[in-house]
Structure 1
């Protein structure tokens, strides 16, 4: 089955990003893809919070989400919209200025089949001088999510989630055979860890990893790593888009999942165990 990944250099203008997404949906369909995967922060990539605030909306009023749902229906293609920055629209954070980093699975009729709020938030100071504090703005998700898709059960995650193997164990234990990991990875961390972690998540889960990424120099001054990947359950890289913007394609054979899981049945061999006793 053919899938497509959109690797993009997201801007501070949601209308521009929406145009790129709609064009990507059309290109994916024309290339024979059953489903398109897009990066984290597909609708807006802007670390200037004051400037970004003018463009942020709750889910039901977000113009980028509306545009891609319409395009998915018109093109009759499934879509994993990696994530959008949205105003929190439920619970104690409503109208508080807090945000969520939310991914969506949208079917070929434009209906939303699943939502996932990023669980692990990126709070770090890098040696380059970059400092990120997602928790100062975003509310963390609390629920792992699997979406039924034409490709099979797709476990959802976003970017920094990649570093937390227990999330992917939970997803694969619950039946996920594909793992979506959209991202806007920094260049230093990408060079150090991107490929090895993506391959590790695929191997330990005996599942396909599909990771659409942001790439290049952005209007807000950040630089992202790119290298959108498709990795098979054996850890083989089927697609690496390197630093090129646009739509890439990969043909995946889902029978490979059962083949690998028979060859090394890691899921069957998982066991619960006690934590170490505290030292005296």
Structure 2
């Protein structure tokens, strides 16, 4: 499998994991997050389960349990960790066992897991502190799997969305979204995660996995998901409504629906010892 070379992307002066305000903003509408956010390809779940020595899984940044439910469906026993009590409460309502903590400060209390997984979350975790904690929680030959969904609409629609963001929120990250392929940005997150792993003893050299898939969205489905994205969770309501109106009009002009092309990228490694 391909491995990730060190330092493929420059380090940001303001790393995502230091921006806890955004990390803790997703629970502002946990019901919408749970309803609207996409899940992950079954092939990814199957591969993680097959590569793990057992079926006891720790889900870091579990949110409302989107990832956890996929692993439970694969007959795994899952414990979730999340920093946001609102997200954790909803996950518990869905039947998931969750502990509320920042992962770097969480205490495994002697428990060992066959896999530590994290979907769309690890960039909110200190890459070295998180890898260190994962090493403490994994049994020998256990798998660490960190993954993200990178979505890319067709170029014409991407430009129409970007035009809305540039008009309403010109200085935002969203205004620069899709100026390069989305998968490049998430591959850079994989590279940062891999750098953190390499600084911790006891892991094999990280590998990168990729799974390509598609999902069709109606106008209403996309507008339901949009406020759950980090660029919009703290946007003033008036500006959010302006964004939703502009994006909705762009989708209407494209026929009322569109296909999002996703690449799910993952960085994985095996716990090579117990020290």
- TM beyond 0.5: no
With structure 1 as the length reference, what TM-score do the two structures score? 0.34
With structure 2 as the length reference, what TM-score do the two structures score? 0.34
Greater share of residues in helix:
2
Relative contact order: is structure 1 or structure 2 higher (C-alpha 8 Å, sep ≥ 6)?
2
